[in-house]
Structure 1
Amino acid sequence: MAKTNYAFEKRQRDLQKKKKKEDKQKRKTENSSTPSEAADVEQPEGDLPQTDAGQSST
């Protein structure tokens, strides 16, 4: 029976962790470079009903 190569398995896990971390960092940098686009999409949905309700109450 063949022996398990623990060093190889550990190396593969480490490579997967490194790739996942790099992907996450890449997504963060992409998101931080376009925060105004994301804010523009989110703000009108939340701000318009609040603004309209506030103006009609006053």
Structure 2
Amino acid sequence: MDTQGLTGSLDFSNDGAPSAREAYMLRPNAATPGGLDIEKKLFESPEAKGYKAPHQ
């Protein structure tokens, strides 16, 4: 599922698996509207890519 950049791509086709493996890295900043700065755009770590959920 394409979230148009709100989150990483979502995939609900594999029961028990995480729906997304990409994430934004955010940093708190009181001066920013919403309180967070994007430190790193969507990325998938090697650990997230290889993670097997318990019920997968």
Structure exhibiting the larger radius of gyration computed from Cα positions? 1
What TM-score, normalized to structure 1? 0.24
What TM-score, normalized to structure 2? 0.24
- Higher RCO, 1 or 2 (CA under 8 Å, sep at least 6)? 2
Which structure carries more helix by proportion?
A: 1
